[in-house]
Amino acid sequence: MVTDDESSNGTRTGELTSLEPGLVIPFGGRHWVRVDEDLARVFRPGDRLLVLQTDGTLIHVTSAVAASVEGSVARARKAFEVMRNLDQDRVSDFYRLFADRLRDDAIFGRIARANEIDVTDARGRGRAVGRLVIDDKMRASMIDGLELWRGMQSVVGASLERVDHGAWNVDVVRAPLGVVAFVFEGRPNVFADATGVLRGGNSTVMRIGSDALGTARAIMELAVRPSLLDAGLPAGAVELIDEPDRSGGHALFSDPRVSLAVARGSGPAVAQLGAVARQSGVPVSLHGTGGAWMIVRGDAPEGRVRDCVSASLDRKVCNTVNVIVLVGNVDRTLRESLEGIVDAARRRDVRATVHLLGDSARAQMSSVPETVDVLEGEFSDSAIEWEWDDAPEVSILVVEDVDEAIDLFNEHSPRFIVSALTGDGAATRAIVDRCDAPFAGDGFTRWVDGQYALRRPELGLSNWEEGRLFARGGILSGDGVYSVRYHASTPDATQRR
């Protein structure tokens, strides 16, 4: 099972070459799990076994996948040595060239054809494709993001602070971080977002969901690599792991040469990637479970609830409204909520699904629009993020007061986005102040987006489900990926402590 060696401190070490069914693998210090027959059968010399210390999950990484990831990270690390001291005009040229290639109809037509194949294949496997399709809006958004990066000043060497001691001083300055690893779901537009880390002198390695791998290959071949070459940037500055197997992401996040691991996707998958990175000593930024909440009082302005609900259901992404909590007198606000849901569904010519959670919501629903399917559930179901492609799906709860709504948000939501629709400033303030979320507003929920809100293409949005973030906001952008250096100037050679 292992080749045996003795380490310098006398302990026995070795290389794992095979697994036996029933083999006990310890994890978490006091738990164990057994190797099953399927894993033992397929494990070969050169393969890797990652053991999650959180729950004992055994992740098999084949030697081929491991070698592919190692090569990508090695090239990105070599590129970083060049990027951190490179003329930033070349980086600006890269963004211009990348954007121009996406504008070129001939080039983009080939990318679109690859995307059509991905979409057709994903639909055939019953997969949602709302985020996979490169339509005109996504194309324009990618180009806009690249132009934003092109026009942005480099953060490399930017001063954060100067401490003046009179005879000498210390400058606190930003410095490049290193190799930034991305694992994200099948959303081709993330390519434009992720390359933002180049502006900070970093390099990147990306692993995209298998649904979009064909599209990703086309973008790399037709737009990214030629733009790197023409701009005079090292080829390894942007790497794509060309492996469909999910273990490629686990191998990437366990590589100690990675300076930051960024995961975007579904909650459980992102949590697992985060566990791999943390136990490997790799800093991680997780962007998983989404779903926005609206807390609506009966005194919300006429028509506002309808319009805000409709605008928050234009597509299914992480900042789409998922739960609507109606407070107090709900005769009008329930009607407007349903009108907003129906309006969003009508734009797609589909039916909507409404989950009525709790007896109060069911009691208030005297009539149901013909284009709405109604399902019943309990308050605890508000923790579920509804995953839909074309047909909007949302939960509705009814509570007596704002305090109860806030408590439900803090107990069941992913602590991500809250919108307060009220006619009372004190009630709005209470919702904003007491709901434990990084994003709070008083209207539609889809404003939560780095490019839309801050004019900075985002690398991901973080919730507070696992606690607040240390020294940073919930929007991770390319210019926020940096380290800090301290430069001392001591003109007096006789200076002593």
Note the pLDDT tens digit of each residue in 312-364.
Answer: 999 999 999 999 999 999 999 999 999 999 999 999 999 999 999 999 998 88
* Tokens, residue 443: 């209207």
User: Is 272 found in the same domain as 334?
Assistant: no
- State the residue for tokens 């909007």: 392
Identify the CA nearest to 72 among candidates 209, 217, 236: 236
User: Is 124 found in the same domain as 106?
Assistant: yes
DSSP 224: I
What phi and psi values does residue 129 have, to the nearest 5 degrees?
-125, 10
User: Is 398 found in the same domain as 273?
Assistant: no
User: Is 109 found in the same domain as 32?
Assistant: no
Residue 271: its H or E element: helix 267-279
Q: Which comes out higher in pLDDT, residue 269 or 76? A: 76
> Total domain count for the chain?
3
Q: Could you tell me where the beta strands, DSSP code E, fall in 108-178?
A: 159-164, 169-175
State which of 45, 62, 79 marks the end of a domain.
Answer: 62
Q: Are strands 292-297 and 321-327 parallel, antiparallel or unpaired?
A: parallel
User: Is 37 found in the same domain as 155?
Assistant: no
Please state, in angstroms and rounded to a whole number, the distance separating the CA atoms of residues 272 and 258.
Answer: 17
User: Is 404 found in the same domain as 278?
Assistant: no
Q: What is the pLDDT of residue 8?
A: 56
Identify the CA nearest to 424 among candidates 300, 331, 333: 300
Q: Calculate the alpha carbon distances from 176 to 158, 200, 262 in Å.
A: 11, 6, 16
User: Is 70 found in the same domain as 36?
Assistant: no
The string of DSSP letters for 22-62 reads T-EEEETTTEEEEPPHHHHHH--TT-EEEE-TTT--EEEE-
Q: What's the whole-number mean pLDDT along residues 69-76?
A: 98
User: Is 121 found in the same domain as 180?
Assistant: yes
State which of 35, 62, 89 marks the end of a domain.
Answer: 62
Whether residue 475 contacts residue 454, with contact meaning beta carbons closer than 8 Å, is answered with yes
Examine residue 449 and state whether it is found in any structural domain, yes or no.
yes
Confidence bin at 12 (pLDDT 50/70/90): confident
Examine residue 237 and state whether it is found in any structural domain, yes or no.
yes
Please state, in angstroms and rounded to a whole number, the distance separating the CA atoms of residues 269 and 209.
Answer: 11
Judged against a pLDDT cut of 70, whether residue 5 lies above it is answered with no
**What CATH number does the domain containing 184 carry?**
3.40.605.10
Q: Are strands 2-6 and 12-16 parallel, antiparallel or unpaired?
A: antiparallel
Q: What is the pLDDT of residue 174?
A: 94
Domain that holds residue 417: 292-454
Examine residue 488 and state whether it is found in any structural domain, yes or no.
no
Q: Are strands 483-489 and 321-327 parallel, antiparallel or unpaired?
A: unpaired
Confidence bin at 77 (pLDDT 50/70/90): very high
Residues in the chain: 497
First-residue to last-residue Cα distance in the chain = 58
**What average pLDDT does the chain have?**
93
Confidence bin at 283 (pLDDT 50/70/90): very high
Confidence bin at 455 (pLDDT 50/70/90): confident
**What CATH number does the domain containing 311 carry?**
3.40.309.10
Q: What is the pLDDT of residue 458?
A: 83
Examine residue 129 and state whether it is found in any structural domain, yes or no.
yes
User: Is 96 found in the same domain as 32?
Assistant: no
By three-state DSSP, how is residue 263 classified? strand
Examine residue 330 and state whether it is found in any structural domain, yes or no.
yes
State which of 43, 62, 81 marks the end of a domain.
Answer: 62
Examine residue 3 and state whether it is found in any structural domain, yes or no.
no
| b (16+ CB within 10 A) / e for 401-413 | ebeebbebbeebb
Examine residue 468 and state whether it is found in any structural domain, yes or no.
no
User: Is 107 found in the same domain as 218?
Assistant: yes
Whether residue 50 contacts residue 59, with contact meaning beta carbons closer than 8 Å, is answered with yes
| b (16+ CB within 10 A) / e for 90-107 | ebbbbbbbbbebbeeeeb
What phi and psi values does residue 286 have, to the nearest 5 degrees?
-105, 140
Examine residue 244 and state whether it is found in any structural domain, yes or no.
yes
User: Is 314 found in the same domain as 221?
Assistant: no
User: Is 183 found in the same domain as 39?
Assistant: no
* Tokens, residue 211: 């649904």
- pTM of the model as a whole: 0.89
